[in-house]
Amino acid sequence: MRLLLVRHGQTPSNLHHLLDTAAPGPGLTALGEAQAAALPEALAGEDIEALYASTLVRTQLTAAPLAVARGLGVLVRDGIREVAAGDLEMRPGRSPEGERYLRTVFAWAAGDTALRIPGGESGAEVLARYDAVVAEAAADGARTVAMVSHGAAIRMWTAARAGNVDVAYAAARPLENTGVVVLEGSPATGWNALTWEGATVEPAGEGGPAGEPLDPLAGPPDTAGRRGPAPEPPGGTGR
């Protein structure tokens, strides 16, 4: 299966760099609406057979123009919503709280899935719900599936599940609004990322940036005891 993970269009909370993860969440800005309207042309080369969005309204608004252009219904699933910020909800992404959020998210991708965001989810819980939606899509037999989801969730899931994307690679590459990660594979055989916002991702074992070491973002210092350069903070057009 070819899997297109699409980040939603810009929201007001992106402009203010806020950890805004609760349902139903904000709508799109004027720019976000324009980004959504541009998706059908941007994905014109993709033979999309199924289209999913999360329970947060911004993904459904982003998916709507693509759904109309392709004559598809939008399958709304809670499993591909953003990683819940819990007690960090509505905190600035460019703050210690925002850094803790992303450090925890990328620690999950590195394997520390028992870690939990304060008042929020564990990595095991987030991966399980995201995996379930991907498995549903694969079981339905569509050859190309687009899922309109969220920046942290897409980057974490891809780093955890794609054999040629590690934590360092995903942490260094925030997704712009309506940015797309394209993967190929299946729940049974595993996944490989083909492109990240249009840039080719090197196959596993062939060097390149996907082969960078995992050490920069292993987990929050107070829980995993490991430190490294701060990840790109959530918020703005890049989160």
For 3, the enclosing helix (H) or strand (E) is strand 2-7
Phi, psi of 102 (to 5 degrees): -70, -35
Please pick, among 16, 33, 82, 206, the residue that the annotation labels catalytic. 82
Residue type, 109: A
- Please say if 82 is a catalytic residue: yes
211 DSSP assignment: G
- Please say if 197 is a catalytic residue: no
User: What does the buried/exposed string (b/e) look like for 37-66 if buried means 16 or more CB atoms within 10 Å of the residue's CB?
Assistant: bebeeebeebebbbbbbbbbbbbbbbbbbb
Token pair for residue 130?
């995201």
Order across the sheet with 199-200: list the strands: 74-76, 50-53, 144-149, 2-7, 180-186, 190-196, 199-200
Please pick, among 8, 17, 97, 232, the residue that the annotation labels catalytic. 8
**Roughly what angle, to the nearest 10 degrees, separates helices 151-161 and 96-109?**
30
Question: What is the set of active-site residues?
Answer: 8, 82
